[in-house]
Amino acid sequence: MSFRTTPSVDYVEDVSPGSGALPPRAWYASSDARSLSLNGSWRFRLSATAGAEDDSFAEEGYDAGNWAEVTVPGHWVLQGDGAFGSPIYTNHLYPFPVDPPYVPTENPTGDHLRVFDLPSDWPSDGGAVLRFDGVESCARVWLNGTELGEFKGSRLAHEFAVGELLKPGSNVLAVRVHQWSAGSYLEDQDQWWLPGIFRDVTLLHRPAGSVADFFVHASYDHTTGEGTLRVDSGVDGRVLVPALDIDVATGEPVTVAVEPWTAETPKLYDGVLATDGERVPLRIGFRTVVLEDGLVKVNGTAVLFKGVNRHEWHPERGRALDLETMREDVLLMKRHNLNAVRTSHYPPHPAFLDLCDEYGLWVIDECDLETHGFTEQDWRDNPVDDDRWTPALLDRAARMVERDKNHPSIVFWSLGNEAGTGRGLTAMAEWIHGRDPERLVHYEGDWNCRDTDVYSRMYAFHDEVEKIGQQLDGGTHKRRELPFIQCEYAHAMGNGPGGLADYQELFEKYDRLQGGFIWEWIDHGVKHAELGYAYGGDFGEELHDGNFVCDGLVFPDRTPSPGLIEYKKVIEPVHIEGDGANGIVRITNKQDFADLSALAFEWSCQVDGETVESGSLSVPALVAGESAEVKLPEPPVDGRGGERQWTVRALLANDTSWAAKGHVVAWGQFAVGARPLPSFPATDRPVVEEGRITLGPAWFDARTGALLSIGGVEVGATPRLDVWRAPTDNDDGAEWQTDTRYGMLWRTLGLHRMRHRLVSVEAGDDALTVRTRVAPAAREVGLDTVYRWTSDGERLRLSVSVTPEGDWTVPLPRLGVRFGLPEADRVEWFGGGPGEAYPDSRTASMVGRWQSTVDRLQTPYVRPQENGARADVRWVELGGLRIEGDPEFWFTARRWTTEQLDAAQHRTDLAAGDTVWVNLDHGLHGVGSQSCGPGPLPQYFLKAEPVEFSFVFSTTR
418 sits near ligand GAL (criterion: CB under 6 A): yes
Q: Which of 13, 150, 190, 684 binds ligand GAL (CB under 6 A)?
A: 190
We find the least distance from the C-beta atom of residue 389 to ligand GAL, in angstroms, to be: 20
Of 13, 136, 366, 488, catalytic: 488
For the chain, state the CA radius of gyration: 31
The residue (of 551 and 886) whose beta carbon lies closer to ligand GAL is 551
Q: Which of 91, 414, 841, 955 binds ligand GAL (CB under 6 A)?
A: 91
877 sits near ligand GAL (criterion: CB under 6 A): no
Angstrom distances, CA of residue 61 to CA of 42, 47, 413: 16, 21, 45
- SS3 (DSSP) at 170: strand
488 sits near ligand GAL (criterion: CB under 6 A): yes
The residue (of 192 and 949) whose beta carbon lies closer to ligand GAL is 192
- SS3 (DSSP) at 611: strand
Do residues 128 and 370 make contact, with C-beta atoms less than 8 angstroms apart? no
What secondary structure letter does DSSP report for 364?
Answer: E
Q: Which of 587, 533, 215, 275 is nearest to 405 (CA)?
A: 215
We find the least distance from the C-beta atom of residue 911 to ligand GAL, in angstroms, to be: 30
- SS3 (DSSP) at 449: coil
Q: Note the residue count of the chain.
A: 957
Q: Which of 220, 227, 306 is nearest to 264 (CA)?
A: 306
We find the least distance from the C-beta atom of residue 100 to ligand GAL, in angstroms, to be: 20
We find the least distance from the C-beta atom of residue 90 to ligand GAL, in angstroms, to be: 10
The residue (of 297 and 345) whose beta carbon lies closer to ligand GAL is 345
Which position's Cβ is nearest ligand GAL? 190
We find the least distance from the C-beta atom of residue 91 to ligand GAL, in angstroms, to be: 5
We find the least distance from the C-beta atom of residue 191 to ligand GAL, in angstroms, to be: 8
We find the least distance from the C-beta atom of residue 418 to ligand GAL, in angstroms, to be: 5
| Beta strands in 59-145, from DSSP E residues, in sequence order | 68-72, 88-90, 106-118, 127-132, 135-136, 138-143
We find the least distance from the C-beta atom of residue 307 to ligand GAL, in angstroms, to be: 14
The residue (of 458 and 775) whose beta carbon lies closer to ligand GAL is 458
Of 370, 418, 466, 888, catalytic: 418
The whole-angstrom separation of Cα 210 and Cα 276 is 6
We find the least distance from the C-beta atom of residue 507 to ligand GAL, in angstroms, to be: 20
H/E segment holding residue 500 = helix 500-509
The whole-angstrom separation of Cα 193 and Cα 187 is 9
Residue 569 falls in which region: left (phi positive, over 0), alpha (psi -120 to 50) or beta: alpha
Do residues 748 and 731 make contact, with C-beta atoms less than 8 angstroms apart? no
Q: At what angle do helices 323-335 and 350-359 cross, to 10 degrees?
A: 30
The whole-angstrom separation of Cα 777 and Cα 267 is 66
866 sits near ligand GAL (criterion: CB under 6 A): no
The residue (of 310 and 895) whose beta carbon lies closer to ligand GAL is 310
The whole-angstrom separation of Cα 909 and Cα 906 is 6
The residue (of 178 and 342) whose beta carbon lies closer to ligand GAL is 342
Q: CA angle 839-840-846, nearest 5°? A: 70
We find the least distance from the C-beta atom of residue 525 to ligand GAL, in angstroms, to be: 14
- SS3 (DSSP) at 246: strand
CA dihedral 394, 396, 397, 399 (to 10 degrees): 120
The whole-angstrom separation of Cα 266 and Cα 270 is 13
Centre a 10 Å sphere on the Cβ of residue 347 and count the other Cβ atoms it contains.
Answer: 28
The residue (of 460 and 693) whose beta carbon lies closer to ligand GAL is 460
The residue (of 543 and 653) whose beta carbon lies closer to ligand GAL is 543
Task: Write the interaction track for ligand GAL spanning residues 194-223; mark x where CB under 6 A is met and - where it is not.
Answer: ------------------------------
What secondary structure letter does DSSP report for 512?
Answer: T
Q: Which of residues 924-953 bind ligand GAL (CB under 6 A)?
A: 932
Q: Which of 519, 789, 850, 861 binds ligand GAL (CB under 6 A)?
A: 519
- SS3 (DSSP) at 543: coil
Q: Residues 521-535, buried b or exposed e (16+ Cβ, 10 A)? A: bbbbbbeeeebbbbb
The residue (of 345 and 396) whose beta carbon lies closer to ligand GAL is 345
Task: Write the interaction track for ligand GAL spanning residues 534-573; mark x where CB under 6 A is met and - where it is not.
Answer: --------------x--x----------------------
H/E segment holding residue 744 = helix 742-749
Task: Write the interaction track for ligand GAL spanning residues 441-460; mark x where CB under 6 A is met and - where it is not.
Answer: -----------------x--
Q: Residues 399-410, buried b or exposed e (16+ Cβ, 10 A)? A: bbbbbbbbbbbb
The residue (of 548 and 949) whose beta carbon lies closer to ligand GAL is 548
Do residues 584 and 630 make contact, with C-beta atoms less than 8 angstroms apart? yes
Do residues 191 and 552 make contact, with C-beta atoms less than 8 angstroms apart? no
Centre a 10 Å sphere on the Cβ of residue 491 and count the other Cβ atoms it contains.
Answer: 26
369 sits near ligand GAL (criterion: CB under 6 A): no
Q: Which of residues 309-368 bind ligand GAL (CB under 6 A)?
A: 345
We find the least distance from the C-beta atom of residue 345 to ligand GAL, in angstroms, to be: 6
The residue (of 150 and 488) whose beta carbon lies closer to ligand GAL is 488
We find the least distance from the C-beta atom of residue 568 to ligand GAL, in angstroms, to be: 21
Q: Which of 417, 589, 694, 785 binds ligand GAL (CB under 6 A)?
A: 417
Do residues 111 and 57 make contact, with C-beta atoms less than 8 angstroms apart? yes
# binding residues, ligand GAL (CB under 6 A): 13
418 a catalytic residue: yes
The whole-angstrom separation of Cα 570 and Cα 577 is 13
Do residues 253 and 219 make contact, with C-beta atoms less than 8 angstroms apart? no
The whole-angstrom separation of Cα 328 and Cα 331 is 5
The residue (of 111 and 488) whose beta carbon lies closer to ligand GAL is 488
Q: Provide the binding-site residues for ligand GAL, judged by CB under 6 A.
A: 91, 189-190, 345, 417-418, 458, 488, 491, 519, 548, 551, 932
Which residues are marked as active site?
418, 488
